[in-house]
Amino acid sequence: MTNLAIFDLDGTLLNTIEDLGTACNHALEMCGYPKREMCEYNMLVGRGIYNLFRGALPEGHRGEEEVMKMKDFFIPWYDAHKCDLTRPYDGIQALLDAIAAKGIKLAVASNKYQDGTEKLVRHYFPECDFVSVLGQRDGMPIKPDPEIVLEIMRAAGITDKSAVVYAGDSDVDMLTGRNAGVRTVGVTWGFRSREELSALSPWKIADTPGMLMEYLLG
C-alpha cells in the first residue's frame, strides 16, 4: 500500500525544458559564451543549477567564478520567464487529484533551486495539498543523496519506507529512491530514456500518468 507519493518536478510533473534551456542560453550569452542546442538540455538538467551551468559552459571555463556569473544572469531571467512555455504533462493533474482523493499524501523533491520549485508548484498546482515541497537549498545535499526523501517522510509523519513511492524521469531520481530505501517508478514522458531508467532497476516504469496512477493505487 502507498501512503506517500513523492514526485520529481522537472520532467515528471512539469515539462520545463524550453524555459530552462532559454534561461541558460541567456546566461551563456551574457557571459560571452556560445548557446547550447535545446536538445542538449535534456541531459544537462536534473542535477541542480550549479551542475547545469558547469555542463553548459565550455570546457576550460567551468570554474566557480564563471558558475556564479551564470547564476547571476540565470536566476532573474528564469524567475521572469519560468512559465512562458512550461506546462504540466497531460494527465498529471488528474493523477494528483485521484491519488489524493484516496488519501495518499503528495510531495515534491526537486534539484531545482528552492524558490523556483515553490513558485512553480504554487502556480501550476494551486489546489494540491503537498505535505512538503523541497528543492535545492544551500547547505543541503542534492539528489541522489537520500536526505530530501527522508526529510519529506518526517514531514509526512511516515516511517514505513515500504509505504513510500518516489517517481522521477532520470537516473538521479532512481538512485535517490534506491538510496532512501523506498520504491521507485521511472517515468518515460520526461527528459531521459527508458534505457537509462531500466538500468537502475526501478520497482516499475510508467509510460503514462495513468499507468503511474495504477501503480500507486494498486
Cα–Cα distance list, 157 to 25, 80, 108, 113, 140 (Å): 41, 35, 15, 24, 21
Looking at the fold, whether 10 and 33 belong to one and the same domain comes out as no
- Residue 22 and residue 41: Cα distance in Å, rounded? 10
Looking at the fold, whether 63 and 134 belong to one and the same domain comes out as no
The domain tally of the chain equals 2
Looking at the fold, whether 111 and 64 belong to one and the same domain comes out as no
Q: In what order do the strands lie in the sheet with 183-187?
A: 130-136, 105-113, 4-7, 164-168, 183-187, 204-206
Q: What is the pLDDT of residue 64?
A: 94
Looking at the fold, whether 197 and 109 belong to one and the same domain comes out as yes
Looking at the fold, whether 27 and 102 belong to one and the same domain comes out as no
Cell 501503480, residue located: 215
Phi, psi (deg, nearest 5) at residue 35: -75, 160
- Model confidence at 65, in pLDDT bands (50, 70, 90)? very high
**H helices of 31-125, where?**
41-44, 49-56, 64-81, 92-101, 114-124
Boundary (domain end) residue, out of 81, 109, 131 = 81
Q: What is the pLDDT of residue 71?
A: 96
- Residue 109 and residue 115: Cα distance in Å, rounded? 13
Looking at the fold, whether 65 and 116 belong to one and the same domain comes out as no
Q: Answer yes or no: are the C-beta atoms of 56 and 34 closer than 8 Å.
A: no
Q: Answer yes or no: are the C-beta atoms of 216 and 5 closer than 8 Å.
A: yes
- Model confidence at 72, in pLDDT bands (50, 70, 90)? very high
Looking at the fold, whether 74 and 102 belong to one and the same domain comes out as no
pLDDT 10s digits, 138-181: 999 999 999 999 999 999 999 999 999 999 999 999 999 999 99
Boundary (domain end) residue, out of 58, 81, 104 = 81
Looking at the fold, whether 72 and 117 belong to one and the same domain comes out as no
**Angle formed at CA 13 by CA 50 and CA 125, multiple of 5 degrees:** 105
Task: Identify the CATH number of the domain in which residue 33 sits.
Answer: 1.10.150
Task: Identify the CATH number of the domain in which residue 141 sits.
Answer: 3.40.50.1000
Q: Give percent of the chain with pLDDT exceeding 90.
A: 99
Peptide bond into 76 cis (omega under 30): no
- Model confidence at 216, in pLDDT bands (50, 70, 90)? very high
Boundary (domain end) residue, out of 81, 100, 135 = 81
Q: Answer yes or no: are the C-beta atoms of 152 and 131 closer than 8 Å.
A: yes
Q: Give percent of the chain with pLDDT exceeding 70.
A: 100
Domain of residue 199 covers 4-15+87-217
- Residue 148 and residue 217: Cα distance in Å, rounded? 24
Looking at the fold, whether 104 and 209 belong to one and the same domain comes out as yes
Looking at the fold, whether 77 and 147 belong to one and the same domain comes out as no
pLDDT 10s digits, 91-116: 999 999 999 999 999 999 999 999 99
Looking at the fold, whether 100 and 149 belong to one and the same domain comes out as yes
**Angle formed at CA 120 by CA 206 and CA 158, multiple of 5 degrees:** 60
- 1-16: string of b/e by CB count within 10 Å (b at 16+)? ebbbbbbbbbbbbbbb
pLDDT 10s digits, 125-137: 999 999 999 999 9
Q: What is the pLDDT of residue 127?
A: 95
Looking at the fold, whether 123 and 182 belong to one and the same domain comes out as yes
> What pTM did the predictor assign?
0.95
Q: What is the pLDDT of residue 31?
A: 97
